[in-house]
Structures are given as structure tokens and as C-alpha cells.
Amino acid sequence: VAAAPALAAGRAKLAAAAEARRGGLMLSRAKDLEDLMRARRWQIDPHLLAAPGKVEVVVYGDTPADTLLAVADALLSESFGPEQTSLREALKAKNLERLAVAATRKDDALWRGTVNGRRWYLGFEAAVEAQAELTADMKSPLEFLRDQGHTVYLLGRDDGGVLGALGISVGAEPEAVKAAKALSATLMPGLPDGTRQAVAKAAGVTCDGPPLGRHDATLLTPHAELPSSGARIRVVVVPEEIPMWGRLREGLALLVYRLRGRVAWD
């Protein structure tokens, strides 16, 4: 009952994200992603993962996402190679052809230029960090984009710091599903490693290393080879320090999952 409001909010945000992705472009404010990631329970459908030609935008601050896209496009003037034709065509309808070139770059290139009288820069995280400091709040959405199979670029202004992030997809949808299934899985703090690994193995995901810091996440997905088979990733976010009543509630939730056969236990 206590988790119901957060769960409802998470589902509403996910529904909005799904609707936006159907148009091939996802516009999100960093705080929206953070709220979604902290929801008690939510799901990602691999159908919503990155597919070729999709671009996601995370906005830090109040600059319109359309402005960030236009600036990024203006900064890039590289010529296209034969291997980039397909992705270029996929992005052509959005007038984002130059972003296709950026998505195929694997080095630490940093594009700089003057747009609308302001000095801007666009590049990979490592290159941009030399220009401006990235806070923890900024880095969290970047992991969100990378987990979906996007190549991530940061866009900033000399007099304003980093103002946004662009996630550009060049991978095929089955590859995105494979990446989703390969996400590391952990369970709530305090459970033995053997138990965590057994549950993760039964769920079809890898599980290695300690829990994921203060906000541990449980990633479970059924066995699935293709996007059409309906694989999902369930994320449970739990504070590191759980009060006694919270432990009882989470224990009851796990018991319900076990009784329903949702998770196979040793």
C-alpha cells in the first residue's frame, strides 16, 4: 500500500515514454528519469529499447529539447561514408543527418562552434568532462541511455556548462535486447551472494559483484530470444538502510512472488 503511489507514478512516466518512443524521439528532463528510476517497481519493454535511427534527448535545465537538437546538428558537418547511408536515411526525416555521423564515431572527438551567437561544444563524456564538471545527477541519466543501447553525447555551452545529453542509436533491435538481458542483476542488501546468484540465474540474467550502492536494483527478465517474445526487465529500487517494517513488507512481497511462481528458487 505504501508503495502504490510511487508505483503508479512510475507506470505513468513509463507509459508517456512509450508513447514518445513510438514517434522515434524521446524527450525527457533529467528529473523525470531520476523519479522513474526511483519508483518502487517499473518495467522496460525491449520493444522500447534503442533501434536504428532513434534519438533520445535528456535536458538539464530549461533549454528546449528542439533547440539542443538543432544546435547539435549545426555543430556537425562531417561528410557521410558508405557504411553510414542506412542510418542517415533513418534520421533524414527528422533533419538529423549529421547526428548519424556522430553516432558512428568511436573516438573522443569534440565538436565546437558558434550557434546563435553562443559558443557550444558536443562530444563524448570523457571529452566534455575536460570542458565542464559533471555532477552525479547528470551522470545517472547517461547510464539510463547507455543501458538502452544508445551512443551518448553531451552538449554544452561555454558560458552555461552541460545543458543536455543525446542518446543516438545505431544498433539493431535484437542487439538492444541482448544488451538488456546482459545487465548485471542484484537483489536487496543483506541477502547472501549465493541466493542473489541463484535467483538471477533462474531469471536468465547475469549476477556478479556486490549490490549497486545505496539504491540497489533487482533486474529480472524471463528467457527470451527475440523482442516479439515479450521479455521484460523488472527493476526494484530499495534504500540501503531499510527500517524493520520495510523489511517485513519486502519479505512479504518476495513470498508472494514465490507463491505465484514468478521467481524460481533453489
- 144-157 pLDDT tens trace: 777 766 778 899 99
Query: pLDDT tier at 265 (50, 70, 90 boundaries)?
Result: very low
For residue 133, give the DSSP letter. Answer: P
For residue 151, the model assigns a pLDDT of 78
The Cα–Cα gap between 175 and 171 comes to 6
The Cα–Cα gap between 214 and 159 comes to 34
Query: pLDDT tier at 38 (50, 70, 90 boundaries)?
Result: very low
Query: pLDDT tier at 122 (50, 70, 90 boundaries)?
Result: confident
Q: Which long-range contacts (CB under 8 A, 24 or more apart) does 60-64 make?
A: 60/30, 60/138, 60/162, 60/163, 60/164, 60/165, 61/160, 61/163, 61/164, 63/163, 63/164
Retrieve residue 266's grid coordinates: 533453489
Average pLDDT across the chain, whole number: 58
93, pLDDT greater than 60: no
CATH match for 4-42+50-171 among 3.40.50.2300, 2.60.120.10, 3.40.1110.10, 3.30.565.10: 3.40.1110.10
Q: How far is CA 61 from CA 31, 81, 156, 157, 161, in A?
A: 10, 35, 11, 12, 11
What residue spans of 120-263 are helical by DSSP H?
125-129, 136-147, 173-181, 193-203, 244-260
Q: How far is CA 84 from CA 52, 103, 170, 172, 210, in A?
A: 11, 9, 10, 14, 40
**20-27 mean pLDDT:** 43
Predicted confidence (pLDDT) per residue in 162-179, tens digit: 888 888 765 544 443 444
The model's pTM is: 0.45
**What residues does each domain of the chain span?**
4-42+50-171, 182-260
Q: Which residue has better confidence, 180 or 113?
A: 113
Give the DSSP H or E segment for 167.
strand 161-168
Query: Would you say 13 and 39 are in contact if contact means Cβ atoms under 8 Å apart?
Result: yes
The Cα–Cα gap between 191 and 211 comes to 10
For residue 6, the model assigns a pLDDT of 60
For residue 232, the model assigns a pLDDT of 32
Nearest alpha-carbon partner for 146 in 125, 131, 162: 125
182, pLDDT greater than 50: no
228, pLDDT greater than 50: no
For residue 70, the model assigns a pLDDT of 78
Query: pLDDT tier at 212 (50, 70, 90 boundaries)?
Result: very low
Question: Around 116, how many Cα atoms within 13 Å sit in the side-chain half-sphere?
Answer: 8
The Cα–Cα gap between 43 and 23 comes to 20
In degrees and rounded to multiples of 5, residue 106 shows phi and psi of -115, 0
